[in-house]
Amino acid sequence: MKHYLKHALILSSLVPLLYAGMSVAAEKGSALKNDSLRSEPFADAKVTGSFARGENLEIIKKQGAWLQVKSAKGSGWVRLLSVKRGTASTSNQAAGVLAVASGRAGTGQVVSTTGVRGLSEQELKAAKFNEEEVKTLESYTLSADKGRAFAKAGNLNSIAFKNLKEAKGGTQ
């Protein structure tokens, strides 16, 4: 009975999710850099178009590390990291469903605010050392072996990959 209820709950929450998935088919995005559009989600697939940094795109779907997008000059697949979800800061009027829901507003410029915050600097400065909590935190410390066992249980295999370096010409 309990299980049945749980399944029913999961199912009923999935339905709106699926609908949301469809409507997000029209999710807006913007290009973080100049890049090419490809016919398939592979680096060596045929180039079908291109877009420029800042250009608005329509995100059709995501597959692994790739996004299928529609630009003003055609559609195709592009690396996930070349696109930012939500609209470019210059055209907030056309903000997508997600952006509106999350309350994104204004120019997108970050300005340090001095308003009321959750975990504020003031709160943190006034905080008193809590020995008991640190001890609890420390009690959760795991050995490297425990970490390895956890990875194995999830079929995680460590791979060779060199640390990423700063892009030539700086980060901007």
- For other proteins (CB under 8 A), the number of binding residues is 73
CB 37 within 8 A of CB 75: yes
DSSP helix/strand/coil, 130: coil
Residues 111-140 touching other proteins, rule: CB under 8 A, are 111-113, 115-121, 123-131, 133-134, 136-138, 140
Residue type, 98: L
Least Å from the CB of residue 35 to other proteins: 9
DSSP H or E stretch at residue 125 = helix 121-126
Residues 39-78 touching other proteins, rule: CB under 8 A, are 43, 64-65
Q: CA 41 to CA 68: how far, in whole Å?
A: 8
Q: Does 104 bind other proteins (CB under 8 A)?
A: yes
DSSP H or E stretch at residue 137 = helix 131-139
Stretches 5-13, 18-26, 69-77, 94-102: which one binds other proteins (CB under 8 A)? 94-102
Which residue of 6, 20, 72, 147 would you call a contact of other proteins, by CB under 8 A? 147
Q: Does 17 bind other proteins (CB under 8 A)?
A: no
Q: CA 27 to CA 14: how far, in whole Å?
A: 19
Residue type, 82: S
Stretches 5-13, 17-25, 68-76, 163-171: which one binds other proteins (CB under 8 A)? 163-171
Q: CA 139 to CA 147: how far, in whole Å?
A: 15
Q: Does 90 bind other proteins (CB under 8 A)?
A: no
Q: Does 26 bind other proteins (CB under 8 A)?
A: no
Least Å from the CB of residue 68 to other proteins: 16
Residue 170: is it exposed, middle or buried by C-beta count within 10 angstroms (0-12/13-18/19+)? exposed
Q: Does 82 bind other proteins (CB under 8 A)?
A: yes
